[in-house]
Amino acid sequence: MELKNIGKSNVQVTPLTFGAWAIGGWMWGGAEEKDAVDAIRKSLDLGVTTIDTAPVYGFGRSEEIVGKALKEVPRDHYQILTKCGMNWETEEGEYFFETNDDSGRPIRMHKFAGKSRVLQECEDSLRRLKTDYIDLFQLHWPDATTPINETMEAFEKLMEDGKIRAAGVCNYSAEQMKEALKTTELASNQVRYSMVSREMETDVLPAALEAGMSILPYSPMERGFLTGKFHSGSKFNAGDTRATSKWMQSDNMHKLEKLIAVLQEMADGKNATIAQLVLRWTMDRKGIATVLAGARNPAQIEENAGSLSLSLSPEEKTKIEDSISELGLIS
């Protein structure tokens, strides 16, 4: 499989990345560990060797599962992308939101990217992942209480020490990216991006292209709403935040269903699924190095990987764009 460099770094990734948020269980209504381990191993079998995780996904559980699944795999056979800067253990940093963990225990989440905290989080991730280096280490969210240059200095040290190969950010604005680049070279910005969530195209994408950075889109399938699997009466497990998504509102669901009908017809003509079509569309967008797609079992990663063999003609892409625009779905 052809690999792509992330930004100007020497970290190469597959066009599709195994997104490991869901396997942590938190905010997804739980997850089965055996299914998750099997899914990661299936991913490697299919050539999707890039895995994106984070400490906050299940409060360490996602990283631990990834480490367990890859324990016997040669280190140069896969690429690990993980993150730092989400603090649920102390009150340090910028208050983000309050939630509950899978046991129902209340959690106050803070965004915190102080230098010592970033360095410690890297050590914790290395331990959970059972590895001695991370391919791409990313700040999960901007932290208004910590100067950007302080966080970037931590990344510089980690690169100098060989504990990370490249540094990236997530959810950074164009201005925050420019400020960070004064201190260190960033490889990427991981942002929310899908057919119907396109805010980043306005200024983040142009700023990334100008700096030679890559965009790593997350939620390309809008947490499943761009797969055709949900409708206004869909039921979700306890703790699954999709139950309160804006897409569950009748007017939004009505528009989405019309787009799904267009995508379904196109997918049927290619003997593909809607999810595969959506992933292919996202991989083909300008500035994209790899697209994150979650999977909780082998069947889901097998479906996601099917997108790699698809192609979309210019006419098909125009039809998709016209449908999105006519329905007023772009946000």
Catalytic annotation, residues: 57
Cβ partners under 8 Å of residue 298, min gap 6: 35, 38, 39, 42
Cβ partners under 8 Å of residue 104, min gap 6: none
Enumerate the β-bridge partners of residue 165: none
DSSP 8-state assignment for residue 213: P
Amino acid at 236: F
Cβ partners under 8 Å of residue 117, min gap 6: 84, 85, 87, 92
Enumerate the β-bridge partners of residue 5: 12
Treating both helix axes as pointing N-terminal to C-terminal, what angle do 298-305 and 274-283 enclose, rounded to 10 degrees? 50
Q: Are 40 and 72 in contact (CB under 8 A)?
A: no
Amino acid at 267: A
Q: What is the dihedral of CA 262, 331, 240, 44, to 10 degrees?
A: 70
Residue of 130, 146, 41, 11 whose CA lies nearest to 87: 146
Residue of 271, 260, 276, 262 whose CA lies nearest to 225: 260
Q: Are 220 and 284 in contact (CB under 8 A)?
A: no
Residue of 232, 80, 55 whose CA lies nearest to 164: 80
Pairing of strands 214-218, 188-192: parallel
